[in-house]
Amino acid sequence: MRHPIRSVGAQLSLALLLVVAIALGIVYVAVVPSLENRLVNTRVGQLERDAARLRPTIRQSAIYDPDVVATAAAKTGARVILMAQLSDTALAIQDSVGAQLSGDVENDPIAVETTRTGRAGHGTVQEGDDHYAEAAVPVLEAQGRYALVLRDSVQNQFGSVHLVQKRLLLAAGAGLLIALLLGYGGAWMFARRIRRLERAADRIASGRFDEPVRDTGGGELRRLADAFERMRVRLAQLDDARREFVANASHELRTPLFSLGGFLELLDDEELDEATRKEFLASMREQVVRLTKLASDLLDLTRLDAGRLTVEREPVDLSALAEEVAEEFRPAARGTEHVLEVSAPEPVFADADELRVLQIARILVENALLHTSPGTAVQIRARLSDDRAMLEVEDDSAGIPDDQCDQLFERFYRLEGTRASGSGLGLAIARELAELMDGTIELATRSGRTVFTLTLPAASVAAPPPFSREKMLPTGT
């Protein structure tokens, strides 16, 4: 079962939420306190400037005149107090809100300090829940210790800050909600595409290659889906080829096995005369040879498919090899009344695997003897052309129809009317072996002449090693 938090959707939206929350938190922490300080400091600065402006207007005659502080309060919008230091105590002698209410100022450190020391002061003071901006300047220094104090509540400024705070929190809430919705929506669509790919991969893994893998979006996921699709097509082709191969191989195996079974039944008959028994045994031997060859061909193909068939690289003299194969097939050629000739006047060295070249040469010569009419000439040639070494097997048969030349190299493909014992694997194996040695096999056919040419990279050797007989490989191994 999927864990809800582990889904890409949930993780992406959580990440987005976190990023937005952190960004909003930083904005909140950076804006709110500095705004509060700025507003309060502005008011303190204003009071300071007002106090400095009022200072020269305070005269000895005015210190007991309530109008002086009232007019100053009206001008500045702040509470104005005139303080005097009497023995150890600082007392308010004039207060724009009424002298009987001045107890608070008499305890306030800025006002008391300025009155006592005669040094100007400013700042904020707190009384209960209320905060005040305050500026105090010494006045009438020649007459004694007096101070002019301007004080104003900063609740308005705090109110503005609270408003901003509230708006910011509201905006943050809305931002987070939008981020959550957008994040979840985007991630959900993204996750849907991933799930579709996951289902496609499961489908392919279970061997169903019929439904194409599609992705309607773009970007990396689209490229991933395209790669999945290429994989599906390739696997479907391989699967088809495998099925066809198994079906063909079983069919090819069944024919000689049936035949062998039939002969065994017949041999059971005690009435059988010696000549017929020998004839049956010869036929059975032929079927066993056919089965053995088929099994070794299938093994070669399996190894080729699995990439387990490795080839050596050594200088191989194709001329000597042509002579060798010709000698090997001469008795068979006599039996089929073919004229077998070799044209290899000088050494032709190929950079290849001797045993595998020999195997290819046998496949080609055997075909030339088996699939042509008796009496035709078969020629094996070795020649060098540029940096390519070539081995050609030519026969004077009726030729091969052009439209089937390529198909001949497919597994199990045989021309119509070909002898039944062939299984159609020889040329397929020959071509794959040639390619494994960086070579090719081409077929050129005109009426009356068929030439199979094996082309291999030429070896650059001064003195090649002699052709070794011990390395000879029996046909089909």
Ligand X SMILES: Nc1ncnc2c1ncn2[C@@H]1O[C@H](COP(=O)(O)OP(=O)(O)OP(=O)(O)O)[C@@H](O)[C@H]1O
Interacting residue ranges for ligand X, rule: CB under 6 A: 297, 363, 367-368, 371-372, 395, 397, 400, 408, 413-415, 418, 422-428, 450
Q: Which is nearer to ligand X, 111 or 382 (CB)?
A: 382
Residue 28's binding partner, choosing from ligand X, Mg ion, none, with beta-carbon cut-off 5 to 8 A by kind? none
From its phi and psi, is residue 343 left (phi > 0), alpha (psi between -120 and 50) or beta? Answer: beta
Copy the structure tokens of residue 312.
């050596």
**Which residue is closest to Mg ion by CB?**
426
Decide: 115 and 86 in contact? Cβ < 8 Å. no
Question: Between 147 and 301, whose beta carbon lies closer to Mg ion?
Answer: 301
Closer by beta carbon to ligand X, 265 or else 416: 416
Cα 183 → chain centroid: 23
Q: Which does 368 bind (CB under 5 to 8 A by kind): Mg ion, ligand X, none?
A: ligand X
Per the document, the length of the chain is 477
Instruction: Give 110 or 358: the residue with its C-beta nearer to Mg ion.
Output: 358
Instruction: Give min distance, CB of 374 to ligand X, in A.
Output: 13
CA distance 107 to 84: 13
Q: Which stretch binds Mg ion (CB under 5 A): 21-29, 56-64, 198-206, 421-429?
A: 421-429
Work out what residue 415 binds among Mg ion, ligand X, none; the CB cut-off runs from 5 to 8 Å by kind.
ligand X
Cα angle value 388/426/396 (rounded, 5°): 70
- Look at residues 35, 47, 50, 29 and name the one whose alpha carbon lies nearest to residue 157: 35
Strands 377-385 and 339-343, by their bridges, are parallel
CB of 291 to Mg ion, least distance (A): 16
Q: Which is nearer to Mg ion, 426 or 439 (CB)?
A: 426
Q: Is 367 in the site for Mg ion (CB under 5 A)?
A: yes
Contact criterion met (CB below 8 Å) for 291 and 331: no
> What span, in angstroms and rounded, lies between the C-alpha atoms of 169 and 190?
31
Query: Is 359 within 8 Å of 328 (Cβ atoms)?
Result: no
Does position 453 interact with Mg ion (CB under 5 A)? The reply is: no
Q: Which is nearer to Mg ion, 121 or 426 (CB)?
A: 426
Three-point CA angle 417, 435, 367, nearest 5°: 25
How far out from the chain centre does Cα 305 lie?
A: 27
State yes or no: residue 426 binds Mg ion (CB under 5 A): yes
Pairing of strands 146-153, 130-139: antiparallel
The one of ligand X, Mg ion, none whose footprint includes residue 412, by CB under 5 to 8 A per kind, is none
Point out which span in 86-94, 418-426, 438-446, 449-457 binds Mg ion (CB under 5 A). Answer: 418-426
Query: What does DSSP assign to residue 469?
Result: S
Stretch binding Mg ion (CB under 5 A), from 222-230, 298-306, 348-356, 359-367: 359-367
Look up residue 179 and give its two tokens. 């981020």
By beta-carbon proximity to ligand X, the closer residue of 208 and 446 is 446
Partner touching 372 among ligand X, Mg ion, none, CB below 5 to 8 Å by kind: ligand X
Identify which range of 151-159, 272-280, 426-434, 464-472 contacts Mg ion by CB under 5 A: 426-434
Question: Residue 176: exposed, middle, or buried by beta-carbon count in 10 A (0-12, 13-18, 19+)?
Answer: middle
Ordered DSSP codes for 181-246: HHHHHHHHHHHHHHHHHHHHHHHHHTT---SPP--SS-HHHHHHHHHHHHHHHHHHHHHHHHHHHH
Q: Does 397 bind Mg ion (CB under 5 A)?
A: no
Partner from Mg ion, ligand X, none binding residue 423, C-beta < 5-8 Å depending on class: ligand X
Q: Is 183 in the site for Mg ion (CB under 5 A)?
A: no
To ligand X, the closest distance from the beta carbon of 393 in angstroms equals: 7
Instruction: CB nearer to Mg ion: give 256 or 426.
Output: 426
Please state the closest distance from residue 446 (CB atom) to ligand X, in A: 12
Q: How far is the CB of 431 from ligand X (least distance, A)?
A: 9
Instruction: Count Cβ atoms below 10 Å from residue 416 Cβ, excluding itself.
Output: 6
Q: Please, which residue, 367 or 455, has the CB nearer to Mg ion?
A: 367
In the complex, which residues of this chain contact Mg ion (CB under 5 A)? 367, 426
